[in-house]
Chains A and B, each alone.
Chain A
Amino acid sequence: MRFANLTDVGREREHNEDNLLSTFFSFGHGSRRIGFGLHVVADGMGGAAAGEVASSITVETIIRNVFENLLRTHMDSNQGYLNLGKVVRAALEEANQMVWKLARENTQYLGMGATCTTILTCQGRAFIGQVGDSRAYMLRGGELRQITRDHSFVGEMVRDGRLTEEQARVHPRKNIITRAIGSRYAVQVDVFFEELRPGDMLLACSDGLSGMVTDPEMRTLLSQGIGKRRELSRLCEDLVQKANSAGGTDNITVTLVWVDQEDIPARPLDQIAFSPDSVLTWDEASRLDLEDWSFIRVEA
């Protein structure tokens, strides 16, 4: 797997209140070694510098939470499996708590919050956690599809059939969101799942990109770039430039993840085991009450 990311303040804003992080990491060794990819995009909001505080806390908390969760599972020999969808959800929920607490305790941070799109990849599968109107897309076979649902006022209107996508794009209230990290004590996180295939590209971005560049424009730019074997980092720059030419009214953040042949295991794993004693058989695992698409099985 390869990735590239880029963030830009845009043409109109004074500060960049977006935050992002992408990383690869792995646990275990030998035949038990499992690799993960973690990509976070967060778009902060709030008076003064509060937006930046909100988005950076969001990113840091998610990274820490995912690491701790996986590490704990690794160290705890009794725990042999992981529900990665729940890992993502828990990470965003904790980020919400951290931002919310800070916003309550400091008057200068009152009302601050962030959107967040988080992608966790493992063994040819992607788990996407979503709050707000930042987005994740899948580019596959030349087609671009939005994976996440916008938690925004215009997004709800479009889903309700009251607005078309084109009207939503230019609506004066398109910036109003209905869910955010840090706006209330508990947040409802959407989790999406994707089975990855070689040649797939995942895109995570803030609305500074998706609000300026239409889906067809993004698709064209990326497909042509892939065809010309353009580097991922260059594609990120192209997208940011396109958003700026269209106005650049907001901060622009984009992450691209490329799925290679070797990222997809020949035989899919459904379970993670970190110590030899705690491997569950498929029978044992199937008797447990857990969503089966989030399991990774270790080869015997």
Chain B
Amino acid sequence: MRRKTSVGDTIFGRFRIQSLIGEGGQGFVWRGADQVDSTPVAIKELTSESVELRKRFEREMELKLDHPNIIQVRQYGEDGGNYYFVMEFLDGENLATILEKKGRISEAEATRIVRAVADGLSAAHSSNIIHRDIKPENIMVLTDGRVKITDFGIACFLDKERVTRMGATMGTAHYMSPEQVEDVSRVDRSSDVFSLGVVFYELLTGKKPFDADMLGELYVSIITKEPARPREIIPALSPQIETVVVKMLAKRPEDRFPSMEELLSGLPGAPQSPGARTRALQVDGITGAFDPGSAPPAPVAPAAPRPKERTGVPCPACKTVNRLGSSFCAKCGFDLRGKCLNCQSPMATGANFCPRCGHPSVECQSQGYFVGLKGGFSGERLSVDKDFLTMGRHSSNDVSFADGKDDYVSRFQARVYRDRGCVWIEGWDWVKNGVTTNGTFVNGRNVDGKGKVMLRHGDRIRLGDSFFRFEMVEAGSRKSDS
């Protein structure tokens, strides 16, 4: 006899049910606690219908996928006549909610999310598990920015579709691949690529590539219609990203990316080497996960420790010492140039500033300044002489706007970081939602709540009513050696 699950019950002798979170398509979802390590868990209680199908997939789940981008399943099985799935509790929002709130998101953030999902799917595909139901509801973005795929292997297609002719299950149908529409059993890795492509399209443009009032029309549309190109809807998107999305949405599976690995290397901004992180290069700086501890992309020349005095540059190939400022080895022609941290263009050895964007090089012994143009520090030149500075109206700040300097600056407004020749600013007081007049602005764009933004020579910064110009200047008076 099945007993009814209620608050206070303990499942598998370990997980205590605390409250009902909601009701999903397959049964109730409870919040609970793992009494072994006191961590929160989500407990899915499946309806009897779903149980039948669940058992078919139990073999897959036994492989217990363990990947940072896949929700972790702690335990599953029968208890007291009911069937439960115990998973880690995720604190965040799924993409469906995010899309509802924001309409669409930036290209950088969308790419980051899709890359994370592709990473997780890649691991699953290697274990011969196909998700089959990739859609915004099944992708969560946690409060710390991590991305997790949920409902893995649990969502299975029903043999007898519970579909009325008018389309009760239209929700899932928007993300189905053409081969899934034509034949439910013909699902494989490339179907996941297609479904992820639909999600990617919607994240970038805010619109679904295939939509209709009726289920039948939607099916026909998925099979026969070519969706509008993303840049027709959002012209600001890069041509590379459009190419990727279009390829993911190819009607024939063989025309898409054959695997998640190929997709990952096809996504723009793919890391040059494993472990390297991409950097936020735009001013609006939505980085997702900036970590000052991570290494910047390595220059072509070996990264030597910062020399105190530079007399010459040894060629890594033939060891000849070349003059400072050389681009190629005089003896063997080896390319000695490094890459600008900011714009990636080649920089000659020993150069302090990038010839193209003016950004200081890693080895540059340069100094950052906030030059007051208007407001609290008008006419003053504030130097960034520590690795960490705070700015705000409270008197405890390193740069304090107290005593009437600027009443519109928040008490704790911004933080400034210095790291390997670069200066970053972070709008700290992000308690307010969205753009406020009291916010921190770089070149007219509000950077509150967007993490650390790298400053470049010439950037205009505003805090409250005070305006600054950021400058990067060579320290001391260096002359090039000859």
Chain A residues within CB distance 8 Å of chain B: 45-47, 111-113, 151-153, 156-157, 160, 162, 172-173, 175-180, 183-184
B165-A177 in contact (CB<8A): yes
Return the CB mask of B138-177 against A: 1 if under 8 Å, else 0.
0000000000000000000000010111111000000000
Return the CB mask of B107-143 against A: 1 if under 8 Å, else 0.
0000000000000000000000000000000000000
B164-A111 in contact (CB<8A): yes
- When distances are taken between beta carbons in the complex, the residues of chain B under 8 Å from A172 are 161, 184
A111-B168 in contact (CB<8A): yes
Whole-angstrom distance between the Cβ of A42 and the nearest chain B Cβ: 13
Q: How far is the CA of A45 from the CA of B163 in the complex (A)?
A: 11
Task: Name the residue of chain A whose CB is nearest to the CB of B184.
Answer: A172
- When distances are taken between beta carbons in the complex, the residues of chain A under 8 Å from B220 are 153, 156-157, 178
Task: Name the residue of chain B whose CB is nearest to the CB of A176.
Answer: B216
A176-B223 in contact (CB<8A): no
- Given A157-B182, A175-B165, 15 more A-B residue pairs with CB atoms under 8 Å apart are A45-B166, A111-B164, A111-B166, A111-B168, A153-B215, A153-B220, A160-B224, A173-B219, A175-B163, A176-B165, A177-B165, A178-B220, A179-B216, A180-B214, A183-B213
B214-A178 in contact (CB<8A): yes
Task: Name the residue of chain B whose CB is nearest to the CB of A177.
Answer: B216
Show 18 A/B contacts (Cβ-Cβ < 8 Å), sorted by A.
Answer: A46-B164, A47-B164, A113-B166, A156-B216, A160-B224, A173-B161, A173-B181, A175-B163, A176-B163, A176-B165, A176-B215, A177-B216, A178-B216, A179-B214, A179-B216, A180-B166, A180-B214, A184-B214
Whole-angstrom distance between the Cβ of B339 and the nearest chain A Cβ: 51
- When distances are taken between beta carbons in the complex, the residues of chain B under 8 Å from A46 are 164, 166
- When distances are taken between beta carbons in the complex, the residues of chain B under 8 Å from A173 are 161, 181, 219
Q: How far is the CA of A172 from the CA of B185 in the complex (A)?
A: 11
* Contact residues of B between 445 and 463, Cβ < 8 Å to A: none
Q: How far is the CA of A180 from the CA of B181 in the complex (A)?
A: 20
- When distances are taken between beta carbons in the complex, the residues of chain A under 8 Å from B223 are 157, 160, 162
- When distances are taken between beta carbons in the complex, the residues of chain B under 8 Å from A178 are 214, 216-217, 220
* Contact residues of B between 164 and 205, Cβ < 8 Å to A: 164-168, 181-182, 184
Q: How far is the CA of A153 from the CA of B165 in the complex (A)?
A: 10
* Contact residues of B between 259 and 306, Cβ < 8 Å to A: none
Q: How far is the CA of A184 from the CA of B215 in the complex (A)?
A: 12
A176-B224 in contact (CB<8A): no
- When distances are taken between beta carbons in the complex, the residues of chain A under 8 Å from B166 are 45-46, 111-113, 180, 183
Q: How far is the CA of A179 from the CA of B214 in the complex (A)?
A: 7
Whole-angstrom distance between the Cβ of A188 and the nearest chain B Cβ: 11
Whole-angstrom distance between the Cβ of B159 and the nearest chain A Cβ: 8
Q: How far is the CA of A178 from the CA of B219 in the complex (A)?
A: 9
Whole-angstrom distance between the Cβ of A253 and the nearest chain B Cβ: 16
Whole-angstrom distance between the Cβ of A178 and the nearest chain B Cβ: 4
- When distances are taken between beta carbons in the complex, the residues of chain B under 8 Å from A157 are 182, 220, 223
Whole-angstrom distance between the Cβ of B157 and the nearest chain A Cβ: 11
- When distances are taken between beta carbons in the complex, the residues of chain B under 8 Å from A162 are 182, 223
Q: How far is the CA of A47 from the CA of B215 in the complex (A)?
A: 16
8 closest A-B pairs (Cβ-Cβ)? Answer: A178-B216, A153-B216, A176-B216, A111-B166, A45-B165, A178-B217, A153-B219, A156-B220
- When distances are taken between beta carbons in the complex, the residues of chain B under 8 Å from A152 are 216
- When distances are taken between beta carbons in the complex, the residues of chain B under 8 Å from A47 are 164
- When distances are taken between beta carbons in the complex, the residues of chain A under 8 Å from B161 are 172-173
Q: How far is the CA of A157 from the CA of B222 in the complex (A)?
A: 12
Q: How far is the CA of A184 from the CA of B167 in the complex (A)?
A: 13
- When distances are taken between beta carbons in the complex, the residues of chain B under 8 Å from A156 are 216, 220, 224
- When distances are taken between beta carbons in the complex, the residues of chain B under 8 Å from A160 are 223-224
- When distances are taken between beta carbons in the complex, the residues of chain A under 8 Å from B224 are 156, 160
Q: How far is the CA of A183 from the CA of B213 in the complex (A)?
A: 8
- When distances are taken between beta carbons in the complex, the residues of chain A under 8 Å from B213 are 183-184
Q: How far is the CA of A162 from the CA of B224 in the complex (A)?
A: 10
- When distances are taken between beta carbons in the complex, the residues of chain B under 8 Å from A113 are 165-166
Whole-angstrom distance between the Cβ of B252 and the nearest chain A Cβ: 12
- When distances are taken between beta carbons in the complex, the residues of chain A under 8 Å from B219 are 153, 173, 176
Whole-angstrom distance between the Cβ of B53 and the nearest chain A Cβ: 16
A45-B182 in contact (CB<8A): no
Task: Name the residue of chain A whose CB is nearest to the CB of B178.
Answer: A162
Whole-angstrom distance between the Cβ of A58 and the nearest chain B Cβ: 14
- When distances are taken between beta carbons in the complex, the residues of chain B under 8 Å from A184 are 213-214
Whole-angstrom distance between the Cβ of B82 and the nearest chain A Cβ: 27
Whole-angstrom distance between the Cβ of B57 and the nearest chain A Cβ: 20
- When distances are taken between beta carbons in the complex, the residues of chain B under 8 Å from A175 are 163, 165
Task: Name the residue of chain A whose CB is nearest to the CB of B224.
Answer: A160
Q: How far is the CA of A142 from the CA of B163 in the complex (A)?
A: 38
Whole-angstrom distance between the Cβ of A170 and the nearest chain B Cβ: 12
Whole-angstrom distance between the Cβ of A105 and the nearest chain B Cβ: 17
Q: How far is the CA of A151 from the CA of B212 in the complex (A)?
A: 14
Between A46, A162, A183, the greatest number of chain B beta carbons within 10 A of the residue's beta carbon is seen for A183
